[in-house]
Amino acid sequence: MGDIVRHYFAHARGTRPCAGGTETGIHLAAKQLIADRKEIPIPLLQAVLEAKDSLGYKHTESKVIFPGHDRQPVDDTKLEFSLGDIRPDLIVSLGQIEILVEVAVTHFIDAEKQQRLESRGQRCIEIDLGDIPRNLTPVELEEHVFNYQRAYWIVNPKIEAEQEKLRPRLQQQIEKANKRIAQANIAREQEEQRQREQHARMEAYFKAQEQKHAELKRQREEEQRRAREKATEQAEIRRREAEVARQLEAKAERHRQQKTWEQERQQLDLHEMRHLAMELFASCQRIHARSGKVATSTRFCLPMARHNLERDIHKMDLEAIPTAVETRTEYDWMFGVPSREWKLVALLGVVYTRESIQSRYWISIQAIERYLGEFGYQPIVALQRAEQLLNTARYYHILAEDPALMALELLPRPLDAIAEFVGELDNFNMIHLLAAKLDELAFIPKPANSWR
């Protein structure tokens, strides 16, 4: 009645009278068979003597005294007859000889009992039935009992007597083996001495050869060093000659370029350039003046801007267009489109994006300019032509010679317009809108000027 398994009926372990009944039955039946048949199995009786030579190899001398017999008739048997401190299973008489018989099924002769038997010097055998089947028939049991290969001598005085006879032969065998070992050791030492001498001669030979090769190698390296020095000197001479030639060529090229530059500069039509600069400047001023009177377009000019910006406005969930987008600044006109359009492109394409809000600490004006250029926004043609004319004037050093050309430097550039727009974003507290969006997206707010 345990605490884990359901209560059930069973014999208490080890308390049944029949717990070891099978082994006990086999043990009793085997003893009774020997007593009834008056026969015992005689195991192989063999004297074996072992010893080791000087190298530790084992040598053996043996003699079979009795080859073994399954059924040896005996004159008398006694069951469980006490001999003082020993009580064997059987005692059998064979002429004037008594043999103690032990039948082992589960309990075998231990070291203490074997010592007592050896002290008596009385013959004793043990029959091993430990591995036979437990459900065998009496006929099968008899076959196992009378099988000399299942019997072992525990004590037999003849073994020690025969071992004493074998000892001189074993000693002679050991002496022969040790003699052979000694001779082999002497031969090995002689061979090792010969090999050492041979090795010393070869080492001396190879050392001489190594010194010879080292000297040859040193001579070759010296020759190669002198050859490299000579080649280096020649290469340095050629390099200097080439450097002088290069300098002369560069000087000549600079002279040709200077002459070409002077010729091109003389061929410039300064009057035409001055006239073109005045026209471009006036054209830009007209466009500037006209841009302030034109109403802000309610539609986007570029189809791509119209499609992408409407989608981005919806995606970013802007309830109203930021005030900075609707505010006009000095350079709004330079892209030739309503300022609301390119500002929204810059705002939604670079400044006000999930990537910018989430991962960037600053946005450069150059990045906004690059994005506008990729989106299709370029300065008006007059500004582009003015920039080209300025570059030409700077290259030929005539910019400071004419006020009309210098006036072109006052015209705006994309960075100027973008910088003004970024300033308007700051003025209208665009950062608060970004901070609010950060809160909606569960991002950590960045410093107040981090987007600029």
Per residue of the chain (452 residues), give pLDDT as tens. Answer: 778 888 888 766 655 566 567 778 888 888 888 888 888 898 988 888 888 888 889 888 888 888 888 888 988 888 877 777 788 888 888 888 888 888 888 888 888 888 888 888 888 999 888 888 888 888 888 888 888 888 888 888 888 888 888 889 889 988 899 999 999 999 999 999 999 999 999 999 999 999 999 999 999 999 999 999 999 999 999 999 999 999 999 999 999 998 988 888 888 888 888 898 899 889 888 888 887 665 555 444 555 555 565 566 666 555 566 777 777 777 888 888 877 778 888 887 777 776 776 665 567 888 888 888 888 888 888 888 988 888 888 888 888 778 888 888 888 888 888 888 888 877 765 555 555 555 554 443 344 443 33
Domain spans of the chain, in order of start: 19-163, 270-450
Q: Which residues contact 152 (CB under 8 A, 6 or more apart)?
A: 43, 125, 126, 128
Q: What is the pLDDT of residue 435?
A: 52
Q: E-assigned strands of 199-265?
A: none
Task: Give DSSP secondary structure letters for 393-417.
Answer: HHHTT-GGG-HHHHHGGGS--HHHH
Question: What is the layout of strands, in order, in the sheet containing 151-155?
Answer: 76-79, 90-94, 97-104, 124-128, 151-155
Q: What is the pLDDT of residue 360?
A: 57
Q: Are 386 and 284 in contact (CB under 8 A)?
A: yes
SS3 122: coil
Task: Give DSSP secondary structure letters for 184-242.
Answer: HHHHHHHHHHHHHHHHHHHHHHHHHHHHHHHHHHHHHHHHHHHHHHHHHHHHHHHHHHH
pTM: 0.40
SS3 45: strand
Residue type, 89: D
- Angle between helix 21-37 and 138-145 (nearest 10): 70
Q: What is the pLDDT of residue 449?
A: 41
End-to-end CA separation in angstroms for the chain: 83
SS3 120: helix
Q: What is the pLDDT of residue 321?
A: 67
Helix (H) / strand (E) containing 97: strand 97-104
Tokens (6 digits) for 290 = 């006209």
Q: What is the pLDDT of residue 199?
A: 93
Q: What is the pLDDT of residue 214?
A: 94
